[in-house]
């Protein structure tokens, strides 16, 4: 399956999740930046509120594009590669502290003063634009679990088959529309995989908030 772009993928994913449409106890959480584009369409299709869960990858020193883990709301997840590369605890702490500061900055930018939705007792649909190693989604899922939700579904348009299977232990259900083999990279399965900006995320969240507020008033 090849998606035109993230918005297209979100609309298709929303159709797959129709059983959650209009549930008063459900909410969609998008992982920035690209996952928020997908999640915006999912939330719109299902008539559900949208919020953001900021996750930061932890990059190997000198090779930052290679992630050895991820952090989200105080939850730290390390991949096997961290042990293989013998990354010291001090290095992990230093990188995690730096990324925590960036995580907090993005929270402020994205929310624009709006409080995060209370996840306790809610049914959470956790959405990203795809899964490669799954480290960011694993950190996000554990962060959500810390809020005692009623249920957790991980939902993505495309994922590496092994990652999709492995994440089954982190959620009540994992929905991966496509699990191609060989996988290679998430962007390979999109015609347009242009990087999403902070400003685009901010605008989408603001639009979702207005949509939700209008529905409440109506």
User: Is 60 exceeded by the pLDDT of residue 199?
Assistant: yes
pLDDT at 75 over 70: yes
Residue 153 to residues 20, 29, 48, 128, 137, Cα–Cα distance (Å): 11, 10, 14, 12, 11
- Among the residue ranges 62-66, 165-169, 210-214, the one predicted with the least confidence is 62-66
Cα dihedral 117, 120, 121, 126, rounded to 10, equals: 60
CB 75 within 8 Å of CB 46: no
Q: Taking a C-beta distance cutoff of 8 angstroms, is the pair 14, 42 a contact?
A: yes
pLDDT digit string, tens, across residues 136-169: 899 899 999 989 999 999 999 999 999 999 999 9
pLDDT at 155: 98
Using DSSP bridges, classify how beta strands 63-72 and 56-60 pair: parallel, antiparallel or unpaired. antiparallel
Model confidence at 217, pLDDT cuts 50, 70, 90, reads: low
CATH architecture of 6-54+118-217: 3-Layer(aba) Sandwich (3.40)
Instruction: Give the C-alpha distances (Å, rounded to integers) separating 129 from 115, 138, 148, 149, 178.
Output: 24, 14, 25, 22, 12
Cis peptide leading into 62, omega within 30 of 0? no
């Amino acid at each position: 399956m090849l998606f035109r772009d993230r918005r297209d993928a979100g609309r298709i994913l929303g159709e797959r999740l129709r059983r959650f449409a209009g549930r008063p106890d459900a909410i969609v959480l998008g992982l920035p930046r690209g996952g928020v584009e997908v999640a915006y369409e999912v939330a719109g299709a299902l008539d559900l509120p949208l919020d953001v869960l900021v996750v930061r990858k932890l990059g190997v020193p000198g090779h930052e594009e290679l992630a050895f883990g991820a952090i989200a709301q105080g939850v730290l997840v390390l991949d096997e590669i961290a042990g293989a590369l013998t990354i010291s605890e001090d290095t992990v702490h230093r990188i995690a502290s730096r990324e925590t500061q960036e995580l907090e900055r993005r929270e402020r930018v994205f929310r624009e003063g709006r409080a995060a939705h209370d996840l306790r007792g809610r049914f959470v649909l956790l959405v990203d634009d795809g899964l490669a190693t799954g480290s960011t989604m694993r950190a996000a899922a554990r962060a959500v679990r810390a809020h005692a939700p009623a249920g957790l579904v991980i939902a993505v348009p495309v994922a590496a088959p092994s990652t999709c299977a492995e994440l089954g232990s982190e959620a009540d259900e994992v929905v991966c529309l496509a699990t191609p083999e060989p996988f290679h990279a998430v962007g390979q399965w999109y015609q347009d995989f242009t990087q999403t900006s902070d400003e685009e995320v901010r605008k989408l969240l603001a639009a979702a908030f207005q949509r939700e507020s209008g529905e409440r008033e109506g």
